[in-house]
Amino acid sequence: MSHPARPIRLADTEGDPVYLEPTYFVDSDHPEVAAYAAEAVKGCTTPVERAQALFLRVRDGLRYDPYTFSIDPEAYRASSVVRQSSGFCVPKAILLAAVARAAGIPALVGFADVRNHLTSERLRSLMRTDIFVFHGYSELYLDGRWVKATPAFDAGLCDHFGVEPLVFDGRTDALFHEYTADGTRHMEYIRDRGHYADLPFDDMVAAFDDVYGGGNVVAEPNHDEAFHGPAHDDS
């Protein structure tokens, strides 16, 4: 199945109501997505408050795990992501866009290539690079402007890495920190891949194949303490 998508010029959108409509991946009309959004925004009275609540729910409700990459399109539909306990940046960004639309906030998904200076040795050996292609984030239309928010790193993982979790105020962009608390370089954006109404799945898979050589990142999801913490014997 092919899933083409074309990038959008933000200057041309002006919060167009079309970005409230469901798409294949951002299926904001799915009952489970709508219920997830409704629960998260209880008590919120403004779009900014709703956006903040949704950001926190997605950021901390799904543990960040880069080993969950999949080449199955269904794994990226918000209605599938909402049932998971973990995910990497792309499905989490899709879910935030979907629940935002479900809560009446126009939303897009954006993508960029980033250099991650805090990757684990295991992940670096699988990827053969410290560049993460098609890093996903969300863009929400609030108070007359598009604001970026990346809900990828949950609070528990940030604590593990010694960085403060990102805070989204609904008015300014919330992207990855450039530095950790001790001044170590964390993450830098090196290429903008555009903003979309829906996930450009074919382009993403082609980029992963080109950079990582056919999905080495997801060969076998093994325990990685850098992302999962110390292993526990549950026997």
pLDDT at 176 over 90: no
Q: Is residue 104 assigned to a domain?
A: yes
pLDDT at 164 over 90: no
Q: Is residue 232 assigned to a domain?
A: no
Q: Is residue 235 assigned to a domain?
A: no
Tokens 């990459």 belong to 69
Higher pLDDT, 92 or 184: 92
What are the beta bridge partners of residue 148?
139
SS3 labels along 158-182: HHHHCCCCCCCCCCCCECCCCECCC
Q: Is residue 228 assigned to a domain?
A: no
**112-134 pLDDT tens trace:** 998 765 556 666 566 666 788 89
Domain hosting residue 147, numbered range: 10-217
Average pLDDT over residues 89-93: 96
Q: Is residue 231 assigned to a domain?
A: no
pTM of the model: 0.85
Q: Is residue 226 assigned to a domain?
A: no
